[in-house]
């Protein structure tokens, strides 16, 4: 029987789970950053349109 060494699929460090806690936290943080960025961009869109209309 071959013992499979479990390592993190992100950083390759020995880990009991496929993604170790530090990497999981980092991925979740990046996902949140992306979400916030998208929400901000969406929010900026309509407001920019309003600004254009105000100037007219």
Q: Min. distance of Cβ 18 from Zn ion in angstroms?
A: 9
Which is nearer to Zn ion, 27 or 44 (by Cβ)?
27
Q: Min. distance of Cβ 24 from Zn ion in angstroms?
A: 8
Question: Is residue 7 packed enough to be buried (19+ CB in 10 Å), middle (13-18) or exposed (0-12)?
Answer: middle
Q: Min. distance of Cβ 17 from Zn ion in angstroms?
A: 9
Distance CA 55, CA 46 (A): 15
Which is nearer to Zn ion, 7 or 35 (by Cβ)?
7
Structure tokens at 8: 């993190």
């Amino acid at each position: 029987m071959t013992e499979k060494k479990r390592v993190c699929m992100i950083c390759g460090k020995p880990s009991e789970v496929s993604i170790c806690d530090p990497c999981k936290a980092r991925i979740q943080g990046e996902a949140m950053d992306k979400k916030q960025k998208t929400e901000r961009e969406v929010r900026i869109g309509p407001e920019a349109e309003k600004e254009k209309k105000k100037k007219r």
